[in-house]
Structure 1
């Protein structure tokens, strides 16, 4: 029985993870739930799973939840609440699904405490990848990726002799603007950018998919997770989102991982690894006629992907600078304070203005994060 602390329970990853738990009542048990502002959904989740520990975004929400629940779990709030859930003594597995760099400290703490961490918070690896590995090594924790592409790579590389590896490739749907001309992309509205053709995700991740920054962050994540250089990680646009990753070997051959575009599959893979068995998603139907297409990404129309490769090659805190700037720019776009094309411009200018430093400690990474946010916010103010 794996006992799960779920950080980000009301988001798309969190609700999918709870579907997986429901499908395996004898193998998975929820002991802690953490969420932000969606207290009504969190209340329903608490009543259904009756965790021992719960965290919400604010003290006001904590007081409301305490009065609303029919049972009496520990109730915490804020950053300390995330840590309380991640480090709950009954939890041996943590699903880290808090969006943005806010999930960094709880992910690091869980690894240092020896937990299995199923990381859906790619920013934890993009911003502090070396710190996550160091924490896992120091505490005996285990790091498994929930992103569909990285879970696919984990399956393809598990037990492989790395000397035979030539490259890995992760796939991208191409987002809603894959076939749009540059001028139309530059003028895209918030509503158009949120209309993803394949996945249903939160607004920040959906905008990142429209700019291909999401794929850029995943390139950095793949490098961190599997010890790869920027030249060993590629991106292929695959609009059908059925092939999630490919591994190329020294002899020129490739192996591909294929499954339905349903996040419950990689979540289940991480929660139950190394076992694989039936779950809430139907097996892939090879009897159905289908066509797969593959193409190279256009870096002129999607420059955020190129910026991510630049940050990976620069190393140090460069990925943290890029991630922080992007969070500020995307938030400003969603608030309609800047335009769609301003997202890449803000990110490019922030990387150009701030020199990356070493990323040897959490303090150094967080300092870089704050500096990039200040710079990006100033840049946004000049445009708003």
Structure 2
């Protein structure tokens, strides 16, 4: 869950300002009480990153764990992917203290994202690594255990060691919206978002054990194979799908994973795309100089009506649990995929709170979304059972609502049930 407003590799801070990271919502293992954080809380950078290092970017995270990047290009993770703290999906251990994640590459990480149970990152060379849930990992070079210090390549993904999971689907739940109505979600959705107990073995354990390749999750990082010459600028990971935005002259959005609710933007409810494919509804730029993707001049709404999209190309992408969003160069915000709590509208986002404001950065969580406007205000809307909207309560919002902050937000990243903000310190 995550998002990005443009092609810049990092959000630049003013030299006189210190970068801080704030978090709110539900992150099991990120706080001693393991209870939802309804208001922003400051996250401290681990000392293990080195003296003089600082926060560079926030990347959201998955179900109960968070991801960020330091100025030195290290991937930082914290939290737990379940209530019992049994997750080794991220740094190989869990806890309240953020820790660097050992990827099998010396290249600096410039962008990263995480879905429900998979992660994806981009190096300064434009390469993409992904790991976690096997269904979300496309074919590519599978690398050996980072802790062992080796690059053990295997020709096919099915032969790699896998993570093991136990999934317990909770009963259907209900939540109350800001208007006072009660909203429920089906068992299909709750089996994903509501899963609380998952037993995930470590990458080291998976490497040492002999597995058949039929398990659900894959522990080892995979170097994603794209067309020759394609370099990626940023990535977005959803519940079971991934989008990548090219920085090369090809200028294309790539997608893979599950698309049963239209979250891949393919114009149909195709269930599974097992390898990276160009997203056909975001046509390549005819000019070549635009290092992103062109939006068709006419876009079809869910009612079958053709309307004009402001802008000529996509500059930012975001993935939620089963929905996605993009921002055009003109600041237009478009969303597509599944929506029940107001996080997805069938056409251009139209809300009084965003009138005369252009979207700069967008991010999507499991069932909530967030946007930073050009005047540096942050708005959240959608499902709010765990306080992931940062509004001090657990009331759902069907329209964007401004989050009160005493600092200047520079980037926002939604996790599954939580939200992270990179901001300038007020002092």
Normalising by structure 1, report the TM-score.
0.29
Normalising by structure 2, report the TM-score.
0.27
Higher helix share: 1
Higher strand share: 2
Compare relative contact order (CA 8 Å, sep 6+) and give the higher one, 1 or 2: 2
